[in-house]
A and B are shown apart, each in its own frame.
Chain A
């Protein structure tokens, strides 16, 4: 019987199978977790073996005792729902406060404000009347003066030099 080992639970093993082996399978049998062949095997063993039947009865009894101990099911106490609501509301509030604090930090709002200003100025410059207006030398000089006024004194001196030298160059160019 070389191929007898292929199936541990073959019909040939039915009688030879020890009660000890069957009892190891009883819990899974009770929970209907055995494959069909093994299930059938345990079933037939139980038909012929009173001690194993008694063992299954005891297992069923234990199961019934456990189920009875927890019956009927309890209702969810409103206090639990209220507790979860309260805790999650507190967490949401803390999260919102954190977000606000983050947004109010200068490191965050300064660049944000800068972006807004730049965007606004781009939109203003994109205005049709402005773009169609002729770009004169006078316009650039005025822009330059506005720019240099906001700079520190060192830069302003340098700008003044650029302005004057630029001015003489233009004057020279207009006088051939």
Chain B
């Protein structure tokens, strides 16, 4: 389990953006693996199987939370209106857990769960489009289009490295 556990945990962290949710997600995924052990088809990638479970669990969890969130806050755009400090600072999490850089975290949070998964798998995990299609149970065409849309979004939301360096006085 340890061999796959580390990789799975990192993928869960990339999806959720914080360690507390990543721990829950990884734990739940491995319990599902234990229960569904017999449904694993030999000859297929075990890691892809776990990744698919993680991706689905994360998508379900976000839908559940969004449902609760919408019930509590009738205004859909409320989160974007909050002051930046409130979104960026979670003192408890900062002490105990590593948290994603706020610009990347905020940008990824604006993507749909599927767009987020596809970007992370392609850009951070270096998975091939075929592997991503297997994990997400969709076609390669869908992988391409999701990736394209996610990229366009992220380009708008994340300032470029060079611009940040310019701001900090490094030049190019």
- What secondary structure prevails in chain B residues at the interface with A? helix
Report which of A66, A67, A80, A91 forms a contact with B9, defined as CB distance below 8 A: A80
Report which of A33, A70, A88 forms a contact with B124, defined as CB distance below 8 A: A70
Report B120 CB to chain A, min CB distance, Å: 8
> CB of B31 within 8 A of chain A?
yes
Report A140 CB to chain B, min CB distance, Å: 54
How many residues on chain B are close to A (CB under 8 Å)? Answer: 39
> CB of A81 within 8 A of chain B?
yes
Size category of the A interface is 20 to 34
Which residues of the other chain, B, contact A74 by a CB distance below 8 angstroms?
Answer: 6, 9-10, 13, 19, 22, 98
CA A62 to CA B23, docked complex, whole Å = 27
> CB of B84 within 8 A of chain A?
no
Which residues of the other chain, B, contact A88 by a CB distance below 8 angstroms?
Answer: 31, 34
Q: Find residues 75-118 in chain A having any chain B CB closer than 8 Å to their own CB.
A: 75-77, 79-81, 83-84, 87-88, 91
Q: Once the chains bind, are B23 and A80 in contact (CB under 8 Å)?
A: yes
Q: Once the chains bind, are B119 and A66 in contact (CB under 8 Å)?
A: yes
- What secondary structure prevails in chain A residues at the interface with B? helix
A61-B162, A64-B161, A77-B9 as given contacts; A33 in contact with B31, CB under 8 Å: no
- List the B residue with the shortest CB-CB distance to A92: B34
CA A83 to CA B105, docked complex, whole Å = 27
> CB of A1 within 8 A of chain B?
no
> CB of A123 within 8 A of chain B?
no
Which of B47-55, B57-65, B70-78, B152-160 lies on the face that meets chain A? B152-160
Report which of B27, B122, B147 forms a contact with A84, defined as CB distance below 8 A: B27
> CB of B66 within 8 A of chain A?
no
Report which of B2, B14, B23, B148 forms a contact with A70, defined as CB distance below 8 A: B14
Q: Which 4 A-B pairs have the closest CB atoms?
A: A69-B104, A76-B5, A83-B27, A84-B30
